[in-house]
Structure formats: structure tokens, C-alpha cells
Amino acid sequence: MLKPKIKREDKTLREIHVDQIIEAVTQMVQEANYNIGKDVEDAFKQALATEESPTGKDVLQQLLENVEIARTEQVPICQDTGFAVFIIELGQDVHIVGGSLTEAINEGVRRGYLAGYLRKSIVAHPLERKNTGDNTPAIIHLELVAGEKIKIHMAAKGGGSENMSFVKMLKPSDGVEGVKDFVIECVKTAGPNPCPPIVVGVGIGGTFEKAAYLAKKSLFRDLGRRSELADIAELEEELLEKVNKLGIGPQGLGGRTTALDVHVEIYPAHIASLPVAVNINCHAGRHKEVIL
Amino acid sequence: MATIHLTTPISADEAAKLKVGDQVFITGVIYTARDAAHKRLVELVEAGKELPFAIKDQLIYFVGPTPAKPGKAIGSAGPTTSYRMDKYSPILLDLGLRGMIGKGSRSQEVKSSMVKNKAVYLAAVGGAAALIAKTIKKAEIIAYEDLGPEAIRRLEVEDFPAIVVNDVEGSDLYELGIQKYRIEN
């Protein structure tokens, strides 16, 4: 049944059909897993130039060869093709037609993971643990924004690095030093497990779950890009330096490159709270963005 | 730190010659298993039943590969993080498992079991999954097909690269590496 376009004042909602979304997601989940971003490849090359450990250099060399093979042969960079995590910026003047947005995203993941020979890594029930067989459902974070576009940003988030993530409710009196100490402790505890050199995502402020979301969102940023807030950019630089003094190195075998970058996102907090979340990503920051 | 070419199966004497930090290239048959398969294997052991493959002197690779594209032996196949198998490994080591390939540190209990049983733990480069896949010439599911990527596979490998992280003396490359490169404030 055709519904008339809804008019708000002099504005017409822009229709986007779910088929466009399914198509975009089908493609991007494959591309994210085959073609590493230039920012990551550049980060590997830079690390190779500055790393002092011979084993560390050897590992970085293998990682560079690996992304080349993956791109050339169109095979996954890593066997953990991840939970498909989406941050969708949905313009509030968009009207999605033809079906449900959530189902469209999941259908795109289903088709992409099948067609792309990607691994099906999701279990339907966290305790019973039966594989869903098609890497759905995806994780979908929806942000309603101004405008009439949909920005779909997808990351393939591996389980190993995700397991090395932490949230702590600090006291306001712990201050920035408390935050730094916590971040360093997390990276130390994680050690070799999340496939260093890692990317460290940090969320500060908000509530318990908001801090965790901020940490995850910070990982969607390209490597080498600092926060737009001057004091936070400084914090990112300082944390990166401190992390790289830990000596964990590529694959945790010892070296100067423990992290390729640290990203921090912040949000206002409660007068009684200083929540901090650390979401760790492996070296292969695999994410793609499409704007409809 | 030597470069050593290993052919499976591997005896206790051969394992004892491997030293922390040695670069190894493995040729022969290795078996894959990760979380779900280990749970089932240990259930078999506890029930006194036979395992799907003869485990003595063999290597287990902790991996869940992507599906193989047509014409390829296997999909991308890098190591998964080993600590999740720590609960199960000592039981298999007591049965004669000679080595494990994965990534990330093992618990003290696993390390002690390796010393006791003359077994080793090797690390493959996490994330070099397409590169590692090139050394896998043949792959077949031999048990638990219902587990999909977590099924037990028998792999035939040629010059599969790994580094000795834990040897039979109890040394730990993760500890040694950090000691060498950590800068304390």
C-alpha cells in the first residue's frame, strides 16, 4: 500500500528503500575484511621503521605481507571476521521504506558473510552457544542526527580483542591520573592476547554503558587522527607514549610498538562519577563507511 | 635462537631440543581444535572414551578458519587466543599431546604441565591469517562438523611458521620479551 509522503512544514522526508541498505551492507562487510584501510597500512610501515626488536620487525613484516595477500586474492585479512558492528547515523528527515532497517542490516550481513567466504562466528544464546550459521545478528548502534542521509559505518570486531576490554567506575577524585593508570593497567593485563600492536579505544564520562559505547565509537576513527579537543588530543598522545613503554611489542613478543594509536572520546558525567571504559582493537582496524 | 624444521609427529626428545625463541617451520599433519571442540574432547576423556584422533606426539593448532574459496585448501587461518583452552590443555597433555600452536600467554598450570609432559607451546602470528593459510596444503574435517569453524580438522602443512614461546624447561618468551623492552617510569 503506497503511503503519501509525510510533509512537515515545507519539508518532505527523503525515502530510502531497504534494498539500497542491504546492497551497501553486503558489499561493505566483505570490503572491510579484505581491504585494510590506508591508515592502518601506513601505521604498519611507520612501526616497521621505528621498531627495535628483530622479532617485532619480523612480525610487522608478516602483517604487511598479509594485508597485501588479502587485498590481492580478496581473502579475509584475519580468520576472525568478527561481530559485524554498525554505527548508523540516521538523518531524521529520512523515511526508510520497504522493510525494517534492522532486518535490512542483518540481511546484508547474512548475504555478505556467505558470498564473501567470511567466518560465521556468532552463537544465538550466550550460554547454550549454538552457532547462528550466518554471522547474524549484527550489533547496531543507531544515532538520530539532523539531515536526510544515512551514514552506515561498519567495523568487523574480533572476539580476541573484544575480550580484552574493561569498564571501571572511578571516583572523581581519581582524576586524569586515575584514568591514565587504569588505561595502562588494562593494556598490561591484556598483554599479547589482543594481537598487538593494538589500537586502544577509551571512553570517559557518561554512564556505565555510555562510557563503553564511547570507547567502541573511538575505534571507528582512522589511525593517526587526534581528537578535536586539544586537551584530549594531548591525553591521547601521552597515553600512546606510556603504552609503548610497556615493552609488550608486536604479538607480545617484546618491542617498542605495543599500540598503533590511542583514541579517546568523552561525554558529560554525573557529579559523583568518573566512568572509564577501555575497548581494545587488534592491529587490523577493519572498518568501512557508506553514505546513502 | 635457532631456525628449526620440524616434522610431525614429534617425540618427547625432539620437543626437549626446542628452546624459547627458536623459529620453527612445521611440516606434516597437525590437528585443529578450539573452545567447543576442547570441551567435547575432555568430556570424552572423562567418560573414558576414545578421542577422534590419536593424540600422542601430535600438535593441536587453536584455529577457526574462514570457509575455503573454491580451489583452495582452506580459508584464512591464523591462531586464536590460547588462554581460553587453558582449562582443557593439561588433560590432553597428560595423554601425550606434544605441542600446541596458538597466541597469547598460557596459565602457570598449563606451563607446569608442559614441563612435566615434555611438551611445547608455539605462537603463530595472530592476524597473518592469509599468509599462514598458504602453508596449509590440505584440510579435512574429521570430527564435529556441526561446529562449523570450530570443527576438528586434520591439516597437512608445509613450512608452517611458528616461534617457541614455552619450552620444556619452563621459559616464557612473553615474559622475556617484556623484560627486555619495558621502560619503567
Q: Which residue in B has a C-alpha nearest to residue A193's C-alpha?
A: B104
Q: Is the pLDDT of residue A2 over 80?
A: no
Q: Is the pLDDT of residue A272 over 60?
A: yes
* CATH classification code of B3-181: 3.20.130.10
Q: Is the pLDDT of residue B176 over 60?
A: yes
Annotate A90-140 with DSSP letters as a single string.
EETTEEEESS-HHHHHHHHHHHHHHHTT-----BSSTTT--B-SS-PPPEE
Does A259 reach chain B within 8 Å, measured CB to CB?
A: no
How far B112 CA sits from the closest chain A CA (Å)? 20
pLDDT recorded at residue A220:
97
pLDDT recorded at residue A258:
98
Cα separation, B176 vs A32, in Å, equals 35
Residues 64 to 103 of A: which have CB under 8 A from any B CB?
65-66, 69-70, 73, 75-81
Give the residue-averaged pLDDT of A14-25.
97
Q: Sorting pLDDT into bands at 50, 70 and 90, what band is A7?
A: low
pLDDT recorded at residue B184:
86
Domain assignments of chain B as residue spans, ordered by start: 3-181
Name the β-bridge partners of A266: A204
Pairing of strands B23-32, B3-7: parallel
Contacts of B74 in chain A (CB under 8 A): none
Would you name the residues of B annotated as active-site residues?
Answer: 38
Cβ of B105 and A191 within 8 Å?
yes
Cβ of B76 and A245 within 8 Å?
no
CB atoms within 10 A of CB B48: 6
Q: Sorting pLDDT into bands at 50, 70 and 90, what band is A154?
A: very high
pLDDT tens per residue, range A166-177: 999 999 999 999
Contact between residue B98 and residue B55 where contact means Cβ atoms under 8 Å apart: no
Contacts of A117 in chain B (CB under 8 A): 66-69, 75
Q: Is the pLDDT of residue A160 over 80?
A: yes
pLDDT tens per residue, range B29-39: 999 999 999 99
Contacts of A52 in chain B (CB under 8 A): 181
ipTM: 0.92
Give the residue-averaged pLDDT of A288-292.
97
SS3 B63: coil
Q: Sorting pLDDT into bands at 50, 70 and 90, what band is A5?
A: low
pLDDT tens per residue, range A174-229: 999 999 999 999 999 999 999 999 999 999 999 999 999 999 999 999 999 999 99
Contact between residue A77 and residue B133 where contact means Cβ atoms under 8 Å apart: no
Residues 267 to 286 of A: which have CB under 8 A from any B CB?
282-284
pLDDT recorded at residue A83:
98
Cα separation, A153 vs A264, in Å, equals 18
Contact between residue A209 and residue A165 where contact means Cβ atoms under 8 Å apart: no
Contact between residue A271 and residue A165 where contact means Cβ atoms under 8 Å apart: no
Q: Sorting pLDDT into bands at 50, 70 and 90, what band is B156?
A: very high
Q: Is the pLDDT of residue A114 over 60?
A: yes
Angle at B49 between CA B47 and CA B52, to 5 degrees: 130
Residues 190 to 229 of A: which have CB under 8 A from any B CB?
191-195
Cα separation, A154 vs A86, in Å, equals 4
Contact between residue A217 and residue A153 where contact means Cβ atoms under 8 Å apart: no
In whole angstroms, how large is the CA radius of gyration of chain A? 20
Beta strands in chain A (DSSP E): 7-8, 11-12, 14-17, 83-91, 94-97, 139-145, 150-157, 166-170, 198-206, 259-269, 274-281, 287-291
Backbone torsion region of residue A251, taken as left when φ is above 0, otherwise alpha when ψ lies between -120 and 50, otherwise beta: left
Spatial CA neighbour of A138 closest among A101, A189, A86, A204:
A86
Spatial CA neighbour of A172 closest among A204, A203, A200:
A204
Chain B interface disruption, residue of A33, A78, A79, most B CBs within 10 A: A79
CB atoms within 10 A of CB A152: 22
CB atoms within 10 A of CB A146: 9
Cβ of A119 and B103 within 8 Å?
no
SS3 A15: strand
Q: Which residue in A has a C-alpha nearest to residue B122's C-alpha?
A: A253
Domain assignments of chain A as residue spans, ordered by start: 7-32+78-157, 159-283
Contact between residue B19 and residue B164 where contact means Cβ atoms under 8 Å apart: yes
